[in-house]
Amino acid sequence: MKELNSRQKAFAWPYPRHRHFQAELRKAAAAWFAERHFPTLRKLPYILAHRDKWPANIIVSEVADYIRQIQLERSAQGKGFPLHKYIHHGLSSQALLFNLIGPLIVEDDSSILQPLTNSPGKKWLAENAAAQFEYEDRVVFHEDYGQPTSIDLVLTDEAGQPRIFIESKFTETEFGGCSVFAAGDCDGRTPAHDFSLCYLHHNGRRYWELLDKYEFLAGPVGDEKVCILTHHYQFFRCLLFALEHNGMFVLLSDERSPVFNCDGPQGQRGLWPFLLSFVPEAWQASVLNMSIQDVVTAVKQSGRHPWITEFEKKYGLT
């Protein structure tokens, strides 16, 4: 049998490719905008022509109104509400979160999410859970200046305390790495056994203190020669943020994306199972991957939200 050349081998790779997933979603987004005659970029028809027209990227108009009202309220309090740079992009993960969870919040029906967020022996979410987009707390990491850590969505427990911390990822190819390393100001070696090596620790940020507090450094994180935050900073930041609030960190992602989960001849792969291997056993129940598809199914089964068919069309789920 003739040996395959490198190009043929590339096509024979047994795992799905992200670019194929993204291409299909771009088609769906472009078609959705075109059907509504929304102006888009000429060469990128899956992106609205103007960022300030981002409400056109939101399926239920009341949700866009709700977001704008929150912006006004926070502005009056001297606080921000960080809309993502590409909120007008048809594949924006923030817009997706607004479209999928926003209507449940506006219609006071977030209890639909309760069965999806429970873990063995623990009920995290209240029946009448309150919700807050872009939740901030400067104290956790001692972020006394600049933009603090902002969690995409937080839901409360029976006592009204923030417990479910949701980060939305759609077509992203990573969680997000350390900006200090990306800027060339760090060589990437781990400071697990000498916190003074970390610029962020030097500035008073508590990432390594909390990794130590929750016993990450007693496991694989402490054994690594390369700093685990170099490429996976956002995962650990979100998880530590949730743990400090005695809560659960939830990744909301798409089952079709090979980035976070995918199957192949060597079993399950993707960032999610890989990063879970660094989480101490004591905290495994405080980490959850919730799929967009599971939420869609729960919303459809409720029979209360006709907008969900439009969501399926917009994101290529039909």
DSSP-assigned letters across all residues of 201-249: HHTT--HHHHHHHTTSTTTHHHH-SB-THHHHHHHHHHHHHHHHTT-EE
Instruction: Please state, in angstroms and rounded to a whole number, the distance separating the CA atoms of residues 74 and 67.
Output: 11
What local confidence, expressed as pLDDT, does residue 264 receive?
Answer: 82
What local confidence, expressed as pLDDT, does residue 1 receive?
Answer: 64
Instruction: Please state, in angstroms and rounded to a whole number, the distance separating the CA atoms of residues 201 and 209.
Output: 8
What local confidence, expressed as pLDDT, does residue 21 receive?
Answer: 95
Instruction: Please state, in angstroms and rounded to a whole number, the distance separating the CA atoms of residues 114 and 104.
Output: 12
What local confidence, expressed as pLDDT, does residue 123 receive?
Answer: 62
Residue 305 in tokens: 């939200």
pLDDT along the chain (318 residues), means of 10: 84 87 97 98 98 98 97 89 94 98 93 80 67 91 87 87 94 95 97 97 97 97 96 97 96 96 88 97 95 97 96 97
What local confidence, expressed as pLDDT, does residue 124 receive?
Answer: 65
**pTM for this prediction:** 0.92
Taking the alpha carbons of 158, 163, 287, 86 in that order, is the dihedral positive or negative?
Answer: positive
